[in-house]
Amino acid sequence: MKGHDLLLYYDPPIRDFSLSATARLISVKPSQDPLSTCAEICLKEKYCMAFSFTNISTNSVSCAWMNDSTVDLKPDHQTITYIKNTTSVMLLLSSQAIPGADYIPVTSQTAIMADGSAEANFSVSILTDSLAEMDESFNIHILRVSLVNMTVEDENLPTVGYPDFALVTISLNGDAFGVFILYILNPEATQDGQYLEVTEKPEQTVLLVIERTGGSLGKVTVEWKYVGGSASPNLDFSVTGEKLVFADGDVKKTIRFTITDDKEAEGNETLIISLVNAEGGSRIRPGSDSVTILILANDFAAGVVGFSNTSRSVTTRRGDKLTLHVDRTPPGIGSVTVYWRITGASVSLTFTDASGQLFLPEVN
C-alpha cells in the first residue's frame, strides 16, 4: 500500500469524536506518519470497520479500532474518527493478488551483485488458474543490503535507496467481464440448445437464455436481434430484438416471445436470432451466438383436396368416358397422392376402373 493516500478508503473524517472505550488500541509510536500507519493497519485487518486517531502532542499519539462502525461515538476534541468506505475497500481488495493463489509467496530471497555489477535479479512464480480476474498487484520490497567479503568504513557501506519496492501487476485474464452465449430453454431443443421445432398454436411461446460465462465483473451490455429466416417479424412472431444491460455480478437473462397463431395456411418457416455487439469489455462466443426456430407447416399447408364444383354432380350415359376435376387449395406445399374409389350398386358391372390414384405435384 506504500505510495497510496490510504485515507481515500475511508469516509470523510468525523472530528472531535472517538470510538467507545471497548476499541482496541494499535501501537503507532515508532512510525514517522502515525495516522497513515493507523489507516494501513485498519485496512489490512478484515474486521476493522473504523478507527480513532488521537494526537495530543508529537510524543503522545494513539490509535484504536473497532469491528462495528455503527457504535455510538463520544465527544473528544483531540480525536478524529475514520469509518471505512465499503465500496472503496472492496475495489482495493479486488485488485490485490492473493499469496498462494495468484503467486508463490516469498518471505525472503537474496540476490548477489558481483564486484562491478550494477544489476541483480529476483524471481517470483506467478500461478495459473482458470478464474476470470481483473488486474491484480503485489509489492516486492528490498529489506536490506550488506557487503560481502570486504570491510569498509561505515559511511561507505551500501544502503537501500528509493524506490525500495517494485509493483508487480498480473494482467486481466480469463474474460473477467464475461463471454455471452445464447441457447433455447426447452427440453425438445437439439444441437446443444441451438435448434427447436415448434407448432403454431394458441399461446405458443419460446424461451431463450442469454448467459454470461467466464467472469461477471462490471456493467456490460449485449444486443440480440432477429437476423434472418423466412418467418416475418411481427406477423409470425412477436419480437425483433433489444439491448440488455448486465450489472456487475449478473450472469443470466431470459427472452420470451410468442409464435403468432393465425389461420393462414403456411409451410415451414424459420427464424434466426443472434447475439450482436457486446460492450463493456465482454465478448460473444462464436458458435454459441445464434439459435434457429422452425415453425412447422400449419393450417393445411399441403392443401385441402376435393372435387371441383363442376364435378360434384354430373350426368352421363353408358359407354361415355367420364372426366372429373379435383381441386387442391393453396398453398399446396409438397407433392401429394390422392386415392379414389367408386362405391355403389353393380360397380364392377358398370365401370371398367373402380379405383385409382392421382399425383399432384407441389404448387409453384
List, for residues 192-251, the tens digit of each pLDDT value. Answer: 999 999 888 888 889 999 999 888 878 899 999 999 988 888 888 888 889 999 998 899
Q: What is the distance between the alpha carbons of residues 110 and 122, in angstroms, rounded to a whole number? A: 8
DSSP string, 105-134: --S-----PPTT--------PBPP-S--B-
Mean pLDDT of 282-291: 93
Q: What is the distance between the alpha carbons of residues 253 and 245, in angstroms, rounded to a whole number? A: 9
Q: In 10 A of CB 10, how many CB atoms?
A: 19
Q: Which domains does the chain have, with CATH numbers?
A: 6-93 (3.50.4.10), 179-295 (2.60.40.2030), 305-360 (no CATH)
Say if CB 84 and CB 50 are below 8 A apart: yes
Predicted confidence at residue 186, as pLDDT, reads 93
Give the three-state DSSP class for 108.
Answer: coil
pTM, two decimals, is 0.50
Give the three-state DSSP class for 261.
Answer: coil
357 pLDDT more than 60: yes
Predicted confidence at residue 346, as pLDDT, reads 79
Predicted confidence at residue 148, as pLDDT, reads 81
Q: What percent of the chain has pLDDT over 70?
A: 86
pLDDT band at 19 (very low <50, low <70, confident <90, very high): confident
Pairing status of strand 50-57 against strand 241-246: unpaired
Residue type, 215: G
Q: What is the distance between the alpha carbons of residues 350 and 322, in angstroms, rounded to a whole number? A: 12
pLDDT band at 37 (very low <50, low <70, confident <90, very high): confident
Please report which helix (H) or strand (E) contains residue 349, including its range.
Answer: helix 347-350
Predicted confidence at residue 308, as pLDDT, reads 86
Q: How many CA atoms lie within 13 A of 245 on its CB side?
A: 2
- Of 47, 48, 57, 51, the residue nearest 18 (C-alpha): 51
List, for residues 98-156, the tens digit of each pLDDT value. Answer: 677 677 777 777 878 887 777 878 788 877 665 556 667 777 888 888 888 778 777 77
